[in-house]
Structure 1
Amino acid sequence: MAVLTMIGQLLLALTILVGLHEFGHFIFARIFGIRVNKFYIFFDFLFPLPNVLNFALWKKKKGDTEYGLGWFPLGGYVDIAGMIDETKDASQLSAVPEPYEFRSKPAWQRMFVMLGGIIVNIILGILIFWGVKYTWGDEYYSKETVNKLGIYAYPLAEEIGLKTGDKILKINNHDFEDFSEVRAALMEENTEFLVERNGAQKVIPVPNDLIDKVASKVPFVEEILPFKVGEIVKDSPADKAGLKQGDKIVKVDSTSIGYFQQFQGVLKNSANKKIALTVDRDGKLLTTNPTVSADAKLGFKPDWDLVKNTQTYSLGEAFGAGAEHALSIIPNQIKGFSRIFKGHISAGNAVSGPVGLAQWFGSYWDWERFWNLTGLLSMGLAFMNALPIPALDGGHVVVLLYEMITRRKPSEKFMERTQQVGTFILLTLMVLVLFNDTFKALFK
């Protein structure tokens, strides 16, 4: 069930994103009087072989356009008359361009048709984050709240000199409010943390290649999380041991417990073992003896004693905050690519395919998380399609810019060849990403 929930969320997000991306091309083509033969969500053929396994799950012809839902759930496409893309080659185009064809239109109009998907994805990203900010606002742990107890440093953070209990005062000599900025700062090069430890201040430099380990989902730092027992899973070790919601765990065997990460560490070393659990229930200390499960859990959700700051927005304020959030994603994508080219992040850790994306959505349906991820993917899709790679929108735009500057139109054969090269590059990347996805899912 959990796997189906992850797949369902990913398919819904991709249907929204791809459908509206292709609608961007479609609407600009219609504005300029260009005929659109097909508008498909997913492919109705075995991509990238347009003449293999041609069938649709659903289709309907309206006017000159056939609308449909393909069987191959990779993306989607619009078949624009007179344009060479993944669905046709130069041999399929007539010798003399018809007035309603893409190739008969001025370069600036063709440019808008190619940019249509990117434009719509950016607008969609802004609208999604506008709605998220207005509906849920922002919740975050402030620096002030976290620094009451300090950070929890995982082994990776300890390798660079951070310690549990450190209080991070500044990032790159700048103050900050939201603790999530600590993790976000790892995307920057030559990052430094100013920390307070035992009343003294110390600068901790972050190696540039640390981001590669963090990108591979190795934990770095987080808030120290004091907790109480929350919702208890029926028939779990916690339920059988008589734990109640609101109990505060103060000791496991002879180890005093002050926060959740410490509790997790003790349980990890006690899998399949009976433990002595001391809890504070309404000021009274009680002892019980549950047996820890094989996956080192007792079976309850923690209730955090660390209070988050909440920022709410009016409709107008939410638009500004949402637009700022959406548009900040593209510079971060550029920084990420820069770090890949500099060798700070391996491509395998930086790129996720369908398996990785499905795992992002999680095993239960949370609308706030769904829309946040869909907005992120929309901006990411806009950025990726803008890359100057043949077969992507950005590749077409580069050719159109060349035509507009030189006033020389590339031949249709040249366009076919660049499309083939671009498709080969994309397929190679897709195979590598799928292999990397599967490897990480099976062995990490």
Structure 2
Amino acid sequence: MSPIIIKTIQFFLSLSLLIVLHELGHFIPAKYFKTRVEKFYLFFDVKFALFKKKIGETEYGIGWLPLGGYVKISGMIDESMDKEAMAEEPKEWEFRSKPAWQRLIIMLGGVTVNFILAVFIFIGLVFTYGEEYIANDSLKDGIWVTEPVLGDALGVQTGDKILAVDGNKIKALNSIVPELVYGETITIERDGAIIEKEIPVDFIETISDNKENARFISQRSPFIINSIPKKSPNVTTGFEKGDALVEIEGNPVEYLDQVSPYLEANKGKTLDVVVNRNGTRVPLRAKVSDEGKLGVSLGFDTYQEYGEKGYFKVETLNYSFLESIPAGWNKGIKTLTDYIKGMKKIFNPDTGAYKEVGGFAAIGGMFPDTWNWPAFWGTTAFISIILAFMNILPIPALDGGHVMFLLYEMVTGRKPSDKFLEYAQITGFFILVALLLFANGNDVYKWLFK
């Protein structure tokens, strides 16, 4: 099956789940407070619906426009703009007739469900799969900067030890780049000295321009020979499994990042090398291919061996069900906090982060191009956090806009007029359309020109 089709299926499966549960977050408290719900729709039914069925007082259906979903609650000024109904005298089963605190709970239901869903997914992931990561503080000789352009922009180099971002200790190696994207300062150790640096304000833009190399920080891997394929130019050189390359043409080496430049500079040549074989130095003559390779596979058979040899340690954490609950909760809070940090950077033009704002194509691209359930659920949890945050923004036409007006009413004791709410709803609608066009326009621009 095509990777695009797999991504598309995952996108719509995730989106449908999130929309239905978000709307249930409004539907359930509305029904609990005896408020009439006229419609419950997945996707929008502009002019017509793909499916609909009325059960009791509520019409359930699937629309054809996959831009979201909605519940139509009686007596509420929403996207339906049902002015005729609002012109009539309020009925006891209408939204506008309910106490402000009940209306507030109804409006907060969607974002609450989205956040709780994300936490539940994170709990399930850590309970089922645990966590596995390279411990950042176990890197014997620091990091490997695989993309010099990004390393130079940040001011880090191979061999540095990245200790903290914004004063927060880095636990996992694979969390360094995400932390850098959201961070302001970086603390590194270089040659025994502790250095504090500011992360360039436009570093997000720099990463965006080098997206294929965005994961530019890696562990330094020793040049340990694992096997010699039959087609290797060095099949008869004398290399053996477990040999560690320690010298090239009299120059000491240990890591792949030290070996690669020598091989690149000596394509097609034969070099004098020395390997460490069970504690004994063994001289050999190694042939370098025209591509600058020795034609051998590298690495130990397991990650545990790297730890045993003192290079880096892989931490494996398994959680009981009770332990997974706080772990999932903390992951939900961390994801939300990081997203808020990212939004702050988007609204700062100097960062260039606004260029990375994306629409449906960008969201779809977040899913793996193969069926990978942990990745699918992790992405779904992340999108659920995004939906929770975006919907609570104080923009009329979003849940956050309704909440803003309800809080005003509860504090002042004065309810905004229906006419004001109508105009606010229209204004919010145009704001949302503008944001939608900008986000999806960014997708089109990147597709055409990048």
TM-score (norm 2): 0.79
Q: Residues 162 and 187 of structure 2 are in contact (CA less than 8 Å); yes or no, is this contact kept in structure 1?
A: yes
Q: 1:259 and 2:262 equivalent?
A: no
Q: CA deviation at 1:266?
A: 8.6
Letter in 2 for 1:195: E
Distance in structure 2 (CA, Å) of the matches to 1:290 and 1:153: 22
Q: Deviations over 1:235-257 (max 9, x none)?
A: xxx9988999x99998xxx9x99
Letter in 2 for 1:113: I
Could you tell me which of 61, 64, 73 is aligned with 2:66?
73
Partner of 1:111: 104
Q: What's the secondary structure of 1:93's corresponding residue? A: helix
Alignment of 1:120-159 (within 5 A): 120-148=113-141, 150-154=143-147, 155-159=149-153
Q: How has the CA–CA distance of structure 1 residues 263 and 11 changed in structure 2, closer, same or farther, with 3 Å as cutoff?
A: farther
Q: How does 1:284-299 map to 2 (within 5 A)?
A: none
**Root mean square deviation, CA, Å:** 4.1
Q: 1:136 to 1:220 in 2, by over 3 A?
A: closer
Contact 1:156–1:220, Cα closer than 8 Å, also in 2: no
TM superposition shift of 1:174: 5.3
Amino acid at match of 2:219: I
Q: Is the 8 A contact 1:146 1:223 kept in 2?
A: no
Aligned-partner SS, 1:194? strand
* Identity percentage of aligned residues: 38
Give a deviation string over 1:121-151, Cα, whole Å, max 9, x none: 1111111111011011112111133344523
Partner of 1:7: 8
Deviation, structure 1 residue 442? 3.5
Gaps of 5+ in 1: 46-51, 231-237, 293-297
Matches within 5 A, 1:355-434: 355-434=361-440
Q: Tell me if the contact between 2:141 and 2:220 (Cα under 8 Å) persists in the aligned partners.
A: no
- Matched residue, 2:44: 43
In structure 2, the residue corresponding to 1:55 is in which secondary structure?
strand
Please list the CA deviations of residues 201-252 of structure 1 after superposition, one character each: whole Å capped at 9, or x if unmatched: 544432233233335636263113538899xxxxxxx9988999x99998xx
Deviation per residue, 1:280-300 (Å, 9 max, x gap): xxx9999797999xxxxx9x9
* Corresponding position: 1:222 with 2:217: yes
Q: 1:62, 1:261 → 2: CA distance? A: 70
- The residue number in structure 2 matching 1:185 is 179
1:85-104 matched pairs, under 5 angstroms: 85-104=78-97
Distance 1:428 1:310, change over 3 A: same
Q: 1:386 deviation in Å?
A: 0.7
**Shift in alpha-carbon separation, 1:260–1:322, aligned structure 2, 3 A:** farther
Distance change >3 Å, CA 262–CA 140, structure 1 → 2: farther
Structure 1 pair 172/380, CA: closer, same or farther in 2 (3 Å)?
Answer: closer
Alpha-carbon contact 1:229-1:249 (below 8 Å) kept: yes
1:329-344 correspondence runs (5 A): 329-344=335-350
Deviation (angstroms), 1:119: 1.0
Report how far residue 416 of structure 1 moved. 1.6
| Kept after mapping to 2: 8 A contact 1:41/1:69 | yes
Structure 1 residues 125 and 220: CA distance shift in structure 2, 3 A: closer
Q: How does 1:27-66 map to 2 (within 5 A)?
A: 27-45=28-46, 52=47, 54-56=48-50, 58-66=51-59
1:441 maps to amino acid:
W
Aligned length, in residue pairs: 418
CA contact (8 A) 1:22 1:76 kept: yes
* TM-score, normalization by structure 1: 0.80
Deviates more, 1:410-419 or 1:389-398: 410-419
CA distance in 1, matches of 2:146, 2:83: 59
State whether residues 82 and 101 of structure 1, in contact with CA within 8 Å, keep that contact through their aligned partners in structure 2: yes
